[in-house]
Amino acid sequence: MSPSVLRQSDDLTPTLPASWYSDPEVLRREQALIFARSWHYVGHAGELPRAGQFRATLLGRVPVVLVRDDARVLRAFLNVCRHRGALVCDGTGARATLQCPYHAWTYGLDGRLLQAPRLAAEGVSETRELGLVELQLQSWGPFLFVNPHRDAAPLREMLGDVPERIARAGIDVDSLRFLERSESELAANWKIVVENYLECYHCPVAHPGFSRALDVSVDAYWLEANASRMSQGCPPRASAGGEVRAAEFHLLFPGTFVNVYPGRANLSIGPLWPCAPERTRRFLDYFVAPDADPSWVEELQALDEQVGREDRALVESVHEGLASGLLDSGKLLPESERLIAHFQALVRAALASRS
């Protein structure tokens, strides 16, 4: 290797240690210090339009149940019975109460313990502390976010200026029509999935269809990091028509994705969460303008699905390579991959926390 190449390599930023992508202890700390303390997209208000409806979901290891109570207020609870820790709800449905299937402890839609077999007979009269644990639930338009941490900063601090950016792009999120939810599980560590999302250095090679539709050249593709928001975007190669003039993609740390493509008003949003060091689950909710042309929507979905298939192969390949244990770390380009460097700095800071 020539000296000039060596000097250039020295200017590259080291990545996180390769072992952090497969070590169960690292994941345990990430679950406790990142996922259990962050805001996560959990769904949209249209999923629970009527009183009594509920939906169970996960935030990393944290089981959550979303409920619209009798006053039609949306609430989020830890989906764990206060008796012995069984999951109270599964899937979706509508009920007047929430009942644990283990010993029939029954909760109101406001989380209060209403009834428990033998409780009174055995002399237990104080039940105020036995209700479901309520979690913070806040919203951006129809988009619902939950944070398991009781002292979490408001959602608006995590969102930053993303809502304003989306509005300036010509999108009224409250007027969008829900299209569909896409769910997937990837054989890769969650950080690899995020890092792949945070750069388009790979786009000309790995995403030919995406790169034909959007201008991913160095001069046209912009990157911006600010606190917990990492953003990027570019114009289309040719006018896509409609009110949205450019693509923009936002990551809200640690793992909520917000995507907009040129054309009619559109947005996809969704979280990811690790289920094992080598497995990541995610979903994306797709929304479009109510009067969007079906053929345009079909083309948009086809492009996004193709990118998803291409990215799956990439991240699973990276995970396999890092899991070999023969690489200490990788290298990051100082400009094209600076959003990854920002993300990794946030991960390092969180894992260094002792609180």
Q: Are residues 113 and 215 in the same domain?
A: no
Per the CB < 8 A criterion, the answer to whether 349 and 27 are in contact is: no
Domain that holds residue 207: 9-33+160-352
Q: Are residues 172 and 230 in the same domain?
A: yes
CB atoms within 10 A of CB 174: 8
Domain end point (choices 147, 174, 207): 147
Q: Are residues 339 and 229 in the same domain?
A: yes
With b for 16 or more beta-carbon neighbours within 10 A and e for fewer, the 128-147 pattern comes to: eebbbeebbbbebbbbbbbb
Q: Are residues 21 and 58 in the same domain?
A: no
Q: Are residues 22 and 93 in the same domain?
A: no
Q: CA triplet 250, 255, 257: central angle to 5 degrees?
A: 35
Q: Are residues 206 and 141 in the same domain?
A: no
Per the CB < 8 A criterion, the answer to whether 242 and 226 are in contact is: no
The pLDDT, as a whole number, for residue 355 is 56
Instruction: Please tell me whether residue 251 adopts helix, strand or coil conformation.
Output: strand
CA distance 311 to 196: 8
Whether residue 290 lies inside any domain: the answer is yes
- What is the torsional sign of CA 333, 337, 342, 347? negative
Burial-class residue 123 by CB neighbours within 10 Å (0-12, 13-18, 19+). exposed
**Structural element, H or E, at residue 209:** helix 208-213
Q: Are residues 59 and 190 in the same domain?
A: no
List average pLDDT for each run of 10 residues in the chain, which is 355 residues long: 38 92 97 95 97 93 95 97 97 96 97 94 89 97 96 96 97 98 97 98 97 97 96 94 96 98 98 96 97 96 97 98 91 97 97 78
Give the DSSP letter of residue 110: T
CATH number of the domain within which 59 lies: 2.102.10.10
C-alpha distance from residue 176 to each of 103, 173, 286, 287 (Å): 42, 5, 9, 6
The pLDDT, as a whole number, for residue 125 is 85
C-alpha distance from residue 332 to each of 28, 45, 91, 193, 207 (Å): 26, 39, 41, 16, 20
CATH number of the domain within which 226 lies: 3.90.380.10
Whether residue 154 lies inside any domain: the answer is no
Domain end point (choices 99, 120, 147): 147
Which residue shows structure tokens 């809502």? 163
Whether residue 1 lies inside any domain: the answer is no
Domain end point (choices 147, 179, 200): 147
Whether residue 322 lies inside any domain: the answer is yes
CA distance 57 to 109: 17
Whether residue 339 lies inside any domain: the answer is yes
CA distance 26 to 110: 36
State both tokens at 298: 């079909």
What's the domain count of the chain?
2
Rounded to 10°, the helix 338-352/190-197 angle is: 150
Q: Are residues 28 and 58 in the same domain?
A: no
CA distance 158 to 153: 8
Q: Are residues 101 and 140 in the same domain?
A: yes
Q: Are residues 280 and 230 in the same domain?
A: yes
State both tokens at 145: 């976010």
Whether residue 65 lies inside any domain: the answer is yes
Q: Are residues 47 and 26 in the same domain?
A: no
- What is the torsional sign of CA 5, 18, 196, 258? negative
Long-range contacts of 233-241 (CB under 8 A, 24+ apart): 234/200, 235/262, 236/262, 237/212, 237/213
C-alpha distance from residue 319 to each of 32, 167, 309 (Å): 22, 36, 16
Whether residue 56 lies inside any domain: the answer is yes
Q: CA triplet 337, 5, 322: central angle to 5 degrees?
A: 50
Whether residue 4 lies inside any domain: the answer is no
Per the CB < 8 A criterion, the answer to whether 159 and 258 are in contact is: no
Per the CB < 8 A criterion, the answer to whether 200 and 232 are in contact is: yes
Q: Are residues 52 and 200 in the same domain?
A: no
CA distance 314 to 236: 24
